[in-house]
Structure 1
Amino acid sequence: MNTSLTVREQVVCHAVTVIMMRGYNGFSYRDLSELVGVKTSSIHYYFPAKDDLVLVAVSEYSKEALNDIYSIDASLSTDAKLAKYTKKFGKVLGDGDRICLCGMLAADIESLPDNIWHAVQAFFKANENWLAKVLTQGVDECTLAVNGKFECAAGTLFAAYQGSALARRLFQTRSRLENVASAWRIVN
């Protein structure tokens, strides 16, 4: 871990990674204390409850992921945008040992307090809204066909990305993720 980070920042970074690998119920402050090299009481100083830490982890993860997405050049073609989105989505998955943080937490949704539940929903909605705009552009460019509402198609596409992350981890192959964007292209 980068020693220029504060203990609080190190805890959040490790929490994000551990949640992506094990989910909400798969880690404890003891796990994080070993990773950071501090006592669990030090973690409780910054985050009195696990829910406090997870909410900050979701917030930090969401901010970084959405900034990455929003940085995709608006003047690009739909195919180029989806390719960049796929690459950025894949980047957070590492070598296939991780799942999108919010996707992993969505699987644990019944264990989560409402504020984390809403933060995870907001992440999904932000991705779906961005994808709906890209799908609209693709229809306008005649490079995509969308049946029904763009919002529904975007939700389906984001679900495909999330599902591909699970399948990528299960089958240990990157192609699961890369196939998602290519499945939406129209060949002229």
Structure 2
Amino acid sequence: METTATVREQILDHAITLMMMRGYNGFSYRDLSELVGVKTSSIHYYFPSKDDLVLEAVNEYSKDVLDALGAIDPALPADAKLGKYTKLFGRTLGDGDQICLCGMLAADIESLPDNVRQAVQAFFKANESWLAKVLAQGASEGTLAVNGKPENAARAMYAAFQGSVLASRLFHTKARLEDVGAVWKTTT
């Protein structure tokens, strides 16, 4: 049975997509009004301010991504987990015109309210923590090459993933993203 998204859900979905394409300062309630087919006053009913909308968007996006990470089979070898993570990042690119919501918002960090900044930081930390566990597993299995502490390597890897989606968007190719995961794999 197919369910129709509520107006609130449509607003949130379109806001997430617009921010992934244009950033925090690149969309307005008027843009959302046209996409959803409601008056801007209706948007204000659900999200009194843009900051409220952006915080909810970050929370929703984070939940979806972290749920997807949690759904990766913990029994898989680390290199397979990393492959699934790379594919997850690849879905972020869509048609090649958008990047990770939190990566995009990180570029706008100085114009974000503190609660949104904290939510974006929490998203980064959660991804880095997950990657650190996978890298530690991979190092002990011998399936992933890790130099130094897994936590440090995870921060570098996450930065590489975020940068790769920017480059993938710029050059219109997912190859930039696919190269990142391959760097840490061993030749077993």
| 1:176 aligned partner, one-letter code | R
Q: Which runs of 4+ in 1 moved over 6 A?
A: none
Mapped partners of 2:144, 2:33: distance in 1 = 49
Please state if 1:23 is matched with 2:16: no
CA distance in 1, matches of 2:92, 2:172: 15
8 A contact 2:136–2:150 mirrored in 1: yes
Partner of 1:50: 50
Match of residue 83 from structure 2: 83
Match of 2:59 in 1: 59
Q: Which amino acid aligns with 1:106?
A: A
Does residue 147 of structure 1 match 2:147? yes
Match of 2:122 in 1: 122
Match of 2:184, SS state, is: coil
1:41 — aligned with what?
41
What CA distance in whole angstroms lies between the structure 1 residues aligned with 2:145 and 2:18? 38
Which residue is 1:168 aligned to? 168
What are the superposed Cα offsets for residues 65-115 of structure 1, whole Å, 9 maximum, x if unpaired? 110011100111111101101111111220211110000000000000000
CA RMSD of aligned residues (A): 1.1
Q: Distance in 1 between matches of 2:144 and 2:30?
A: 49
Residue type of the alignment partner of 2:94: G
Per-residue deviation, residues 3-24 of structure 1 (Å, max 9, x unmatched): 8111111100000000000000
Name the CA distance, whole Å, in 2 between partners of 1:58 and 1:106: 11
Give 1:150 shift. Answer: 1.2
Where 1:183 maps in the other structure, the secondary structure is: helix
Residues in 2 aligned to 1:52 and 1:111: alpha-carbon distance in whole angstroms = 14
- 2:21 and 2:97 in contact (8 A); partners too: yes
Query: What's the counterpart of residue 101 of structure 1?
Result: 101
The count of corresponding residues between Structure 1 and Structure 2 is 187
Query: Distance in 2 between the 1:99 and 1:3 partners?
Result: 27
With normalisation by structure 1, the TM-score equals 0.97
Does the CA-based 8 Å contact 2:79-2:144 persist in structure 1? no
Instruction: Give the Cα–Cα distance (whole angstroms) in 1 for the partners of residues 92 and 137 of structure 2.
Output: 26
Q: Is the 8 A contact 2:98 2:169 kept in 1?
A: yes
Unmatched runs of 5 consecutive residues or more in structure 1: none
Distance, in Å, in 1 between the alignment partners of 2:149 and 2:3 is 48
Distance 1:136 1:64 in 2: 24
